[in-house]
């Protein structure tokens, strides 16, 4: 059974703080993704990675960076948190190749005050 | 750019009725179309998917149809039950590089099944 875990379910940070969101998957997936979920806007892709140390910008990368030093772990970094980054953040992973199904983590609800 | 439109944004049906959610996509390179269900406070989970080489797929009470020419695909839920109440997301794949695909998601449909 695929398991994708995220480091926190709820997080409260102050404006200007550096924030790290961690995601770990245990199925040796090649691809990992970070999404932001806001009401009425669906799931928007922030960044994704198709291999260790490889990263690609998604649709809304501004204000975010990522790190993938190990295959199983993909981190999302908010360099200087702002209130408009208050949101639900979802991590996902997939095998790659012709297997496109993405498996999601439970999400981290981040509040920036 | 790539875009997936989803309608309606909210849908309320009586228990036992059918529900239909429709999506359109813009990129002809899309060849994989999943549907995810997200219950309140939980993670999205895949409920059914279809690839571009078939026009319809069914799994018990849920079915998905695909019209490649019109770039439309739809989710059909028959004999709805209260436990079908959730947010449903459609998505379309987009190739990236040689062997990687990303998904573009629709904006979601909140389905409420009234007992």
For A31, A63, B63, B66, B73, the CA distances from B52, given in Å and listed in that order, are 22, 36, 15, 7, 10
Q: What is the reported pLDDT for B98?
A: 61
Share of chain B above pLDDT 90, in %: 86
CB–CB of B100 and A105 under 8 A?
no
Distance CA B53, CA A24 (A): 33
* pLDDT tens per residue, range B17-49: 999 999 999 999 899 999 999 999 999 999 999
d(CA B4, CA A103): 20
Compare CB distances from B100 to A40, A59, A96 and report the shortest one's residue: A96
Q: How far is A50 from chain B (nearest CA, A)?
A: 7
For residue B57, the chain A residues in CB contact (below 8 A) are none
Distances (CA, A) of B32 to A38, A109, B48, B76: 24, 29, 11, 17
Q: Kindly report, residue by residue over A88-113, the tens digit of the pLDDT.
A: 999 999 988 777 899 999 999 999 99
Q: Which residues of B touch A59 (CB under 8 A)?
A: 1
């Amino acid at each position: 059974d695929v398991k994708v875990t995220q480091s926190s379910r709820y997080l409260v940070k102050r404006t200007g703080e550096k924030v790290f969101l961690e995601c770990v998957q245990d199925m040796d997936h090649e691809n990992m993704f970070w999404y932001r979920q806001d009401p009425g806007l669906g799931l928007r892709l922030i960044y994704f990675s198709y291999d260790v140390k490889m990263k690609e910008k998604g649709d809304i990368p501004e204000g975010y960076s990522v790190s993938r030093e190990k295959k199983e772990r993909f981190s999302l970094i908010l360099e200087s948190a702002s209130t408009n980054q208050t949101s639900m953040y979802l991590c996902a992973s997939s095998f790659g190749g012709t297997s496109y199904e993405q498996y999601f983590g439970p999400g981290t609800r981040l509040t920036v005050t | 750019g790539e875009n997936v439109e989803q309608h309606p944004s909210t849908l309320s049906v009586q228990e036992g009725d059918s529900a239909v959610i429709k999506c359109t996509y813009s990129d002809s390179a899309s060849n994989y179309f999943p549907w995810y269900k997200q219950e309140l406070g939980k993670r999205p989970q895949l409920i059914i998917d279809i690839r571009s080489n078939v026009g319809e797929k069914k799994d018990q009470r849920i079915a998905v149809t695909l019209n490649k020419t019109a770039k439309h695909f739809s989710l059909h839920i028959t004999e709805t039950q209260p436990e079908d109440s959730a947010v449903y997301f459609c998505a379309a794949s987009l190739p990236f590089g040689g062997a990687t695909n990303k998904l573009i998601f629709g904006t979601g449909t909140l389905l409420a099944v009234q007992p």
